[in-house]
Amino acid sequence: MKQPLFLFCLILSTVAFSQKSIPNSTLRTLDGKFVKIQDEISNDKITVLSFWATWCVPCINELDAISEIYDDWQENINMELIAVSTDDSRTQKRIKPMISGKDWPYKILLDKNQELKRALNISTIPQTYILKGSKIIYIHSGYSPGVEDELYQIIKDNI
Amino acid sequence: MRKIIVLKLFFFSIITFAQQNDNLFIGLESNSQYYVDDEKTGGFMEKNRFRSNNYLKIDYSISKFSFGIQAEGYEPMSLLNYSPDFNNSTIALYYAKYTSKKIEATAGYFYEQYGSGLILRSWEDRQLGINNALRGGRIKFLPTENITFSALYGNQRSGFDVSDASIYGFNSELNLSSMLKAISWNLDIGLSYVGRKEENNNTDFNFNDLTNAFSSRLNFSKNNFYSSAEFVSKSNDAIIIFDEIRNVKPGSAFLFDIGYGKRGFGVNANFRRIENMTFYSERNATGNIYNQNIINYIPALTKQHDYLLTNIYVYQAQPQVSFQDFALLKIGEIGGQVDLFYILKKKTTLGGKYGTKIALNMSYWAGLSGDYDYLNFEYDADLLRFGKKYFSDISLEIRKKWTSDWNSVFYYVNQYYNKRYIEETFGIVKTDIFVSESTYKMGAGKSLRFETQHLWSKDDRKNWVGGTIEFNLNSRFAAYVNNIYNYGNDDETKRIHYYNFGGSYTKGAQRFALNYGRQRGGLICIGGVCRFVPESTGLTANIVLSF
């Protein structure tokens, strides 16, 4: 059938993508305040936006791996990582103790009913975005050990 | 043939337009399966060996307006065990939205959640076949950054149609501490109302067409300590058992949570009691197995385990009134859960060079005790007493990094699963499960993960053993093989290997995955909500494209 071939060609031809702005969804902070995502992103920093959940093992592995080198990253580059939790109310209560227990240095925002996840058409997590201002310049999904070094390289190339 | 070429050109140009345009988001997801006959588990008896669920979502925004549609196609039929209402293809959802600093207005289909969802939640989960979006209108008003009001009216999506019943909702959230300019503590309050109006022509029982539900909640935190509570009440509504109205009763839910977190240590405990809290947008849909027409969200408050053998006996919340027989009477559940996270510090004896992370979880769930009258479908439940034990679970996870290239996870779970009450079949199952996994970073983005697991049980299907090997070639390619084998089953014909192997290619937001294997029949649970999947063998393909 020619269908898979067509699809494959389509994918190869769509390698580049335009710089879209992140949809300005409303998220909540751990304190319960409502915030708009674009207000949380600083225009003069590179922001890494990582979608995760307390039940997603590769997400936790990725954020654990980055937390160990986060200080080094921030020393060399003006950047910030915002971890957006897509946990629903079953597992939301696990977020605070898990973060304390893991000693993560990130800003955490809650996408309680997955509004931003749906707006970005995220199907599986982890999914990580690198933003320059509110423009998406790079997307990465899944986690394989060592990919944080690739992320660092892309951030450095885009300051 | 020409139609297909035109379609392809249209598709291609829309994608190119999306590439160039930063206000257009397109998402395509396709999950398909080809089922084969299996000499161990039986032939495939249904129509159409090839099935697929496809979703195309397009969102466009311009200035303060945004529009979108979602087309869904289940061709030639949906995957096994999805609601039969999901057939053929059509535009399933559409919306138009206006957003300004203080107002947000939506017409069409929208998703919403009030509080924790005990009173109202509409969301989408494609793996579970749930999409209970509301179709109608919603207005949100944010007079200051500390207050939000929201009102909605609509009918709930069911299949490609909507429910006959109308849903009314009103929600308010107030950040009291911000209003009082408090700095060291945080307090917010929420109040909601949800009404479901469905005509009823019943003459035997007396209840309103309109069922009213109220939710009040508060969230408090100060320094390292936090706590929250939610109380929900539902007015008199028909109790439907064996497809007929048997009684009229109110419902209630109470959820309490408390926790403490400081660097290297976090603990959280929750408690919940629910009585007759099923809330359907169609009374006749009560108890349907496809999770359709559900207005609220009552997840099982237990730990989501990560491994194959730990997900065989999964607890499902029991909010419903169910009078199956004399000895099987259910009206709700009561119980709680505790989570503890701790880091054994680096360079200590137990912690080792890199530190060791520990996570402990315990949960306990039981029915409500009280006076039950089986013949009249009547009951009077005690407030805080625990009835029949339904489920308990204790798990301990230890994560250890040995060197910069090696790390391991050790996991132990002990479960008590009252099959009789949870699944309404027979038996009690007690299990002990042990898992050990290690990951080796080989450098240049390559890594290898291997896992072994074992389940000990003297009940039901008895012992299992399992393993997984996963190889990441780089950040794009991954491959895996796994198998779980029910070697302990008393029935020799049921000592089956449930094997799977496959791989995936990921680039940016695009993903392709292919898998072949034999799937164990049972529950797939996501977010505490479960869907039954039958035993099946075949090839699965997943495609996710995002522009």
Is B173–A34 a contact, with Cβ atoms under 8 angstroms apart?
yes
CA dist B221 and B143 (Å) reads 24
* Cα dist from B293 to B134, B170, B531, whole Å: 10, 20, 15
Return the pLDDT at A17.
Answer: 54
Chain A, residues 40-79, CB within 8 A of chain B, namely 54-55, 57
Q: Which residue of A has its CA nearest to B268?
A: A97
In angstroms, rounded to a whole number, what is the distance separating the alpha carbons of residues B48 and B76? 7
Does the CB of A27 have a partner CB in chain B at under 8 Å? no
Check: CB of residue B149 under 8 Å from CB of residue B171: yes
Rounded distance between C-alpha atoms, residue A137 and residue A127, angstroms? 14
Q: Which of residues 250-269 of B touch A (CB under 8 A)?
A: 257, 259-268
CB-CB: which of A89, A97, A102 is closest to B297?
A: A89
pLDDT, greater one: B340 or B525? B340
Tell me the per-residue pLDDT of A7-33, one tens digit each, with 9 for 90 and over.
554 554 454 456 788 998 999 998 888
State ipTM.
0.90
Higher pLDDT, B20 or A1: B20
Give the B window 71-130 contacts with A, CB below 8 Å.
99, 111-113, 116-117, 121, 123-124, 126
Q: What is the pLDDT of residue A57?
A: 85
Contact A103 B19 (CB under 8 A): no
Question: Are B267 and A97 inside 8 Å of each other by CB?
Answer: yes
The predicted-structure confidence for B371-382, as pLDDT tens digits, reads as follows: 999 999 999 999
Give alpha helix (H) positions in chain A.
3-13, 37-40, 57-76, 95-102, 115-119, 147-157
Q: CB–CB of B511 and A32 under 8 A? A: no
**Chains A, B: CB contacts under 8 A, how many?**
188
Instruction: Classify B324 in phi/psi space as left (phi over 0), alpha (psi -120 to 50) or beta.
Output: alpha
A83 and A60 Cβ atoms separated by less than 8 Å: no
pLDDT (0 to 100) of residue B11: 66
Q: Please check whether residue A8 touches B, CB under 8 A.
A: no
Other CB atoms within 10 A of residue B230 CB:
24
Query: Cβ of A11 under 8 Å from any chain B Cβ?
Result: yes
Residue B445 has pLDDT above 90, yes or no: no
Q: Read off the pLDDT band of A1 (50, 70, 90).
A: very low
Taking only the tens place, the pLDDT of each residue in A59-115 is: 998 998 899 899 999 998 889 999 999 999 999 988 988 888 777 899 999 999 999
What residues pair up with B446 in beta bridges, in sequence order?
A: B443
Judged on CB neighbours under 10 Å (0-12, 13-18, 19+), A128 is buried
Backbone φ and ψ of B419, nearest 5°: -55, -35
Name the residue with tokens 């959280």: B268
SS3 B179: helix
What is the token pair recorded at A108?
């955490």
Beta carbons of B266 and A32 less than 8 Å apart = no
Q: State the pTM of this model.
A: 0.91
Q: Measured in whole angstroms, how far is the alpha carbon of residue A37 from the centre of its chain?
A: 12
Q: State in Å, rounded, how far the first CA of chain B is from the last one.
A: 27
Contacts of A63 in chain B (CB under 8 A): none
Provide the 10 A C-beta neighbour count for residue B522.
15
Q: Which of residues 426-465 of B touch A (CB under 8 A)?
A: 439, 441, 443-447
Both structure tokens of B341 = 């996270």
Instruction: Please state, rounded to an integer, the average pLDDT across all residues of chain B.
Output: 92
Q: Do B268 and A96 touch (CB under 8 A)?
A: yes
The model's pLDDT over B53-99, given as tens digits with 9 standing for 90+, comes to 999 999 999 889 999 999 999 989 999 989 999 999 999 999 999 99
Strand partners, B358: B342, B398
Distance from CA of A100 to the nearest CA of B (A): 5
Q: Does A103 touch chain B (CB under 8 A)?
A: yes
Closest Cβ opposite residue A139 in set B226, B270, B509:
B509
Distance separating alpha carbons of residues B489 and B506, to the nearest angstrom:
39
CB–CB of A150 and B545 under 8 A? no
DSSP, res B119? S
| C-alpha atoms less than 13 angstroms from C-alpha of B46 in its C-beta half-sphere | 18
A89 touches chain B (CB under 8 A): yes
C-alpha distances out from residue B98 to B108, B113, B184, B203, B205, Å: 12, 19, 36, 45, 44
Is A115–B111 a contact, with Cβ atoms under 8 angstroms apart?
yes
